[in-house]
Chain A
């Protein structure tokens, strides 16, 4: 008997045993998929004897099966509202894959084909940054998860919800010899447990449904983070006996917590009484409403906002630069600040590392954050410990209305007048800073390679009249609307920018927005296959290369080491630069089906190139211009 015959006969015997005695793992609870809970009869799990194991003999009788468990799994994913599922195909989830495409109609979720699992996860991360929702990712057991792990760590550090489903085969008797053994693990999710929020390995479809709903809830409860669900191949591929699929529980997502009333009142008191209050905005704004809430607080106080997370309109007069404001502040309110310690200290990276406190004596530091609500310690993505005078474990966006209300109640007429004078001074300072930045942008204006200020201004000139998102940044770029920023954080794992941009562009596609981003050359080289995914799925986006032909951060690090050791100051390019030959990104993009131009080294050629590229993007296709730039 062939190996596949043996496998099918074993299945037949297993199913016979289940039908005879009703094994708990296969018995459905009550009712159909959509039946409401209130009329369900109590569920009794039927337990029967486990059928005797025996060597398979006899002719194969069963070659097809209806209603595999994976069909039910797709029903579960549809109930959770997933728009897309990103994956590189893998046999450990072949059941799910087929069910998604055929039973599910390849719609909600739609399969987004990726060429590497890290790209799948990072694409999902970019999507979540725009929508606030997870995108489904399938990964191929051990090998797929290992590929995906870098993306998961970036998502963990960036507090992004990702919903990963792993194929795996726990029962060794059901594994095909050879490859399937390398692709199986006892505890498949273990290797990423340090940087995911929750994981489970269901052993029944009822279990699967409940765990899937729970996983979604956990992933999207602040602080958001990736979760992993293992879909055993047997659970995927075994047929579900007549009686219907199990029930799928209702999803209820937790509302985020706001700061307690006493702390909010004290914070308001301190802010109103302060001579030089400062608002330090980390990753605060999750919704358009959130942006308005932050503006309302800042304007109620006429307090400067040091905007680390792109929360405010970029030209709001209260958006200010950091250093002197921190030093002069008597009250600093931090909102989901990722690195508060690093912001209020200056750290010197010389032979003797040293730091200096930037706040003045007696300054009050307040934090409203969910960053430390859920932490793990092995991966140290939580920055240095910072002392506070008041600290709330709460969501800033949710807390802002009560805080602003408390501020407004306290502000007297005299204070209001003083605040307005303060606000005017900041508006004047903001205008002067903008003028200085424009003046600085003239330096190297006609340089080749192209200066970043020149590149930024040329692209802005072509994009400014469109409904755009993403952006390049720079003195001319005007971020007015919440969705124009991609509110994203990561563990600074290189290789993330390209796929996350594709994910963000995918999220913006249905609104018809032009997604524009600056792409580092080194980052793209980690996963150029992402370009193919964007072309294949017709994701419109404009990629402007920041092609400085190097992993430039590392060039500078190596220079620092050489100078410190007083030797080889001319060797920093070894192992860090991508020259000889330089990479032709235009040709690369073209090979993946993109419209492209380049390499462009003359700054005068940038504007016309962007104009042509945008015409393609408006038609629904991706475009890349390979602009060779100054190092920084």
Chain B
């Protein structure tokens, strides 16, 4: 029975960056030149591409330039990734080196304006997005409000940066089936994104007696 669930496995970027994407804090100081060296030395390009564009190698790792999450989340994900990304311990690569990598990825993620425009879609319609989310079958793996499904799809709400989101949708890594622009327009994707942004936050863990 579990072999059927494994067919869907754990999805690339949406699994790896499954905790809410936050507005990036003021960038930490990082050495982009050293970051480029570390990026190559640790063979990150093997899955994420030479320019962090994603889709390289058998695993087809997600796009990470520009990084779709904050530096703390980036560090946490590298240390405690989900399948199939291997974990990188502090002995392998230090926090300082990862900060340099982060700076490198930000620097190659395109121009500031391109980054800005890639980071946010055109204003989407959340009501229509909810309809499309159901129609297109997103709920099947990610559940009805993007809360994530057991063994299938990770949590989507709130979503990661739009650039990473649409990239994963169009050219997914791992098991997720692709949604090309032939079946889902950019405008429809923007609406789904708006819907996911509108999903109310989960209640605080401390407020739930059954989970204490």
* Residues of A that sit less than 8 Å from B by CB: 308, 322-324, 327-328, 339, 342, 346-350, 354-356, 358, 438-447, 449, 451-452, 457-458, 460-461, 475-476, 490, 492, 552-553, 555-556, 559-560, 562-564, 566-567, 569-570, 572, 630-632
**Could you say which residues of chain B place their CB within 8 Å of the CB of A444?**
143-145, 147-148, 202
Tell me, in angstroms, the Cα distance from A209 to B16 when the chains sit together: 61
**Could you say which residues of chain A place their CB within 8 Å of the CB of B81?**
323-324
Tell me, in angstroms, the Cα distance from A156 to B56 when the chains sit together: 41
B95 at the A/B interface (Cβ < 8 Å)?
A: no
**Could you say which residues of chain B place their CB within 8 Å of the CB of A323?**
81-84
Contact: A492 with B58, CB < 8 Å? Answer: no
Contact: A632 with B149, CB < 8 Å? Answer: yes
Contact: A569 with B203, CB < 8 Å? Answer: no
**Could you say which residues of chain B place their CB within 8 Å of the CB of A438?**
205, 211
Contact: A556 with B205, CB < 8 Å? Answer: no
B6 at the A/B interface (Cβ < 8 Å)?
A: yes
B3 at the A/B interface (Cβ < 8 Å)?
A: yes
**Could you say which residues of chain A place their CB within 8 Å of the CB of B83?**
322-323, 346
B25 at the A/B interface (Cβ < 8 Å)?
A: no
Tell me, in angstroms, the Cα distance from A308 to B139 when the chains sit together: 27
Q: Which of B67-75, B117-125, B177-185 contacts A (4 or more CB under 8 A)?
A: B177-185
Minimum CB–CB distance for A578 against chain B, Å = 15
Contact: A631 with B143, CB < 8 Å? Answer: yes
B174 at the A/B interface (Cβ < 8 Å)?
A: yes
Tell me, in angstroms, the Cα distance from A347 to B3 when the chains sit together: 11
Contact: A560 with B177, CB < 8 Å? Answer: yes
A308, A442, A562, A632, most chain B CB atoms within 10 A = A632
Q: A323-B83, A566-B183, A632-B143 are in contact. Are A440 and B148 (CB under 8 A)?
A: yes
Minimum CB–CB distance for A486 against chain B, Å = 13
B162 at the A/B interface (Cβ < 8 Å)?
A: no
Q: Which of B28-36, B100-108, B150-158, B189-197 contacts A (4 or more CB under 8 A)?
A: B150-158
29 contacts between A and B (CB under 8 A): A323-B83, A323-B84, A327-B86, A347-B7, A348-B175, A442-B202, A442-B205, A443-B155, A443-B157, A444-B143, A447-B145, A447-B147, A451-B143, A451-B147, A457-B210, A461-B210, A490-B1, A552-B140, A556-B8, A556-B141, A562-B137, A563-B178, A563-B179, A563-B183, A564-B178, A566-B182, A630-B149, A632-B143, A632-B153
Minimum CB–CB distance for A279 against chain B, Å = 18
Contact: A328 with B87, CB < 8 Å? Answer: yes
Tell me, in angstroms, the Cα distance from A439 to B81 when the chains sit together: 17
Contact: B58 with A354, CB < 8 Å? Answer: yes
Tell me, in angstroms, the Cα distance from A461 to B211 when the chains sit together: 10
Interface residues of B: mostly helix, strand, loop or mixed?
loop
Contact: A356 with B58, CB < 8 Å? Answer: yes
Contact: A630 with B144, CB < 8 Å? Answer: yes
Contact: B6 with A441, CB < 8 Å? Answer: no
Tell me, in angstroms, the Cα distance from A457 to B175 when the chains sit together: 29
Contact: B211 with A572, CB < 8 Å? Answer: no
Tell me, in angstroms, the Cα distance from A185 to B201 when the chains sit together: 64
Minimum CB–CB distance for B168 against chain A, Å = 13
What 1/0 flags go to B43-57 for Cβ under 8 Å of A? Answer: 000000000000000
- Select from chain B the residue with minimum beta-carbon distance to A339: B3
Minimum CB–CB distance for B137 against chain A, Å = 4
9 closest Cβ contacts across the A-B interface?
A632-B149, A444-B147, A563-B177, A443-B147, A323-B83, A442-B202, A324-B87, A457-B210, A356-B58
Tell me, in angstroms, the Cα distance from A570 to B149 when the chains sit together: 19
Contact: B179 with A569, CB < 8 Å? Answer: yes
**Could you say which residues of chain A place their CB within 8 Å of the CB of B202?**
442-445
Tell me, in angstroms, the Cα distance from A346 to B82 when the chains sit together: 13
B38 at the A/B interface (Cβ < 8 Å)?
A: no
B136 at the A/B interface (Cβ < 8 Å)?
A: yes
Which of A446, A564, A566, A572 is the one whose CB lies under 8 Å from B140?
A: A572
Residues 122-136 of B at the A interface (beta carbon under 8 Å): 135-136
Tell me, in angstroms, the Cα distance from A349 to B175 when the chains sit together: 6
**Could you say which residues of chain A place their CB within 8 Å of the CB of B178?**
563-564
Contact: B175 with A342, CB < 8 Å? Answer: no
- Select from chain B the residue with minimum beta-carbon distance to A355: B58
Tell me, in angstroms, the Cα distance from A461 to B208 when the chains sit together: 12
Minimum CB–CB distance for A302 against chain B, Å = 18
Which of B137, B174, B184 is the one whose CB lies under 8 Å from A559?
A: B137
B21 at the A/B interface (Cβ < 8 Å)?
A: no
**Could you say which residues of chain A place their CB within 8 Å of the CB of B136?**
569-570
Contact: B183 with A569, CB < 8 Å? Answer: yes
- Select from chain A the residue with minimum beta-carbon distance to B155: A443
**Could you say which residues of chain B place their CB within 8 Å of the CB of A552?**
140
Contact: A553 with B59, CB < 8 Å? Answer: no
Q: A358-B84, A569-B136 are in contact. Are A631 and B210 (CB under 8 A)?
A: no
Contact: B137 with A570, CB < 8 Å? Answer: yes
A457, A475, A631, most chain B CB atoms within 10 A = A631
Contact: B144 with A569, CB < 8 Å? Answer: no
Which of A445, A460, A564, A632 is the one whose CB lies under 8 Å from B208?
A: A445
Contact: B179 with A447, CB < 8 Å? Answer: no
Which of A490, A563, A632 is the one whose CB lies under 8 Å from B150?
A: A632
Q: A327-B86, A328-B87, A559-B177 are in contact. Are A632 and B155 (CB under 8 A)?
A: no
Tell me, in angstroms, the Cα distance from A452 to B151 when the chains sit together: 12
Tell me, in angstroms, the Cα distance from A572 to B150 when the chains sit together: 19
Contact: A328 with B177, CB < 8 Å? Answer: no
- Select from chain A the residue with minimum beta-carbon distance to B182: A566
- Select from chain A the residue with minimum beta-carbon distance to B142: A632
Minimum CB–CB distance for A284 against chain B, Å = 16
Minimum CB–CB distance for B146 against chain A, Å = 8
Tell me, in angstroms, the Cα distance from A93 to B204 when the chains sit together: 62
Minimum CB–CB distance for A220 against chain B, Å = 24
**Could you say which residues of chain A place their CB within 8 Å of the CB of B174?**
348
Contact: A346 with B87, CB < 8 Å? Answer: no
Contact: B6 with A572, CB < 8 Å? Answer: no
Contact: B139 with A569, CB < 8 Å? Answer: no
Minimum CB–CB distance for B192 against chain A, Å = 12
Minimum CB–CB distance for A141 against chain B, Å = 31
Tell me, in angstroms, the Cα distance from A457 to B179 when the chains sit together: 35
Tell me, in angstroms, the Cα distance from A324 to B16 when the chains sit together: 13
Contact: B203 with A349, CB < 8 Å? Answer: no
Contact: A348 with B58, CB < 8 Å? Answer: yes
B113 at the A/B interface (Cβ < 8 Å)?
A: no
**Could you say which residues of chain A place their CB within 8 Å of the CB of B2?**
308
Contact: A631 with B149, CB < 8 Å? Answer: yes
Contact: B180 with A566, CB < 8 Å? Answer: yes
**Could you say which residues of chain A place their CB within 8 Å of the CB of B6?**
342, 347
Tell me, in angstroms, the Cα distance from A611 to B182 when the chains sit together: 50
Given A438-B205, A461-B210, A559-B137, 19 other A-B residues pairs in contact with their CB atoms under 8 A? A323-B84, A342-B3, A346-B83, A348-B58, A348-B174, A350-B177, A439-B205, A442-B203, A443-B202, A444-B148, A451-B143, A476-B211, A560-B177, A563-B177, A566-B180, A569-B184, A631-B139, A631-B149, A632-B153
